[in-house]
Copies of this chain bind each other. A is one copy, B any other.
Amino acid sequence: MNDLDKPHDECGVIAIYAPKEEVASIAYFGLFALQHRGQEAAGIAVSDGKVIHEHKDLGLVAQVFNPTILAKLPGHLAIGHTRYSTTGSSTLRNVQPFLIDTQHGPLAVAHNGNLVNAGALRKIILQKGVGLSASSDSALLTMMLAGATGDSWEERVKNTMPLWQGAYSLVFLTKDQVLAVRDPWGFRPLSVGQLPCGGYAIASESGSLQTIGCEQIREIQPGEIISLDARGLISLEGLPPAKKTARCTFEHIYFSRPDSVWDDLSVHQVRQHLGAELWRENPVAADIVIPVPDSSIPAAIGYAQASGIPYNDGFIKNRYIGRTFIQPTDSLRRQGVALKFNTLASNLKDKRVIVIDDSIVRGNTSGPLIKLLRKAGAREVHLCITCPPIAHPCFMGVDMGSCEELIAHRMSVDEIKNFIGCDSLYFLSLEGMMRAIGRNAGYCNACFTGNYPIAVDEMHTKTGFED
Measured CB to CB, the residues of A under 8 A from B are 25-26, 28-29, 32-33, 35-36, 51-52, 54, 56, 60-63, 65-67, 70, 91-93, 98-103, 106-107, 122-123, 126-135, 139, 142-143, 145-148, 195-197, 207, 210-214, 257-259, 261, 266, 268-269, 272, 294, 297-298, 301, 305, 310-313, 316, 318-322, 324-326, 328-329, 332, 335-339, 342-347, 465-467
Contact = CB atoms under 8 A, between A and B. Distances in A.
A339 B258 contact: no
Given A142-B131, A298-B313, A342-B257, A62 B196 contact: no
B337 A32 contact: no
Given A195-B335, A322-B62, A147 B132 contact: no
Contacts of A129: 102-103, 146-148
A212 B132 CA distance: 34
A305 B313 CA distance: 13
B313 A62 contact: no
A268 B211 contact: no
A337 B92 contact: no
Contacts of A326: 25, 28, 62, 65-67, 70
A236 B102 CA distance: 35
Contacts of A207: 316, 342
A134 B139 CA distance: 12
Contact of A259 (B66, B70, B339, B342): B342
Given A62-B324, A103-B127, A131-B145, 6 more contacts: A93-B99, A100-B133, A103-B126, A131-B147, A213-B338, A266-B346
Contact of A344 (B127, B211, B259): B259
B301 A211 contact: no
Given A25-B332, A195-B335, A336-B213, A269 B133 contact: no
A28 to B, nearest CB: 7
Given A25-B326, A143-B130, A318-B32, A305 B298 contact: no
A460 B57 CA distance: 29
Max chain B CB contacts within 10 Å: which of A54, A259, A297?
A: A259
Nearest to A334: B196
B313 A311 contact: no
Max chain B CB contacts within 10 Å: which of A36, A62, A127, A214?
A: A62
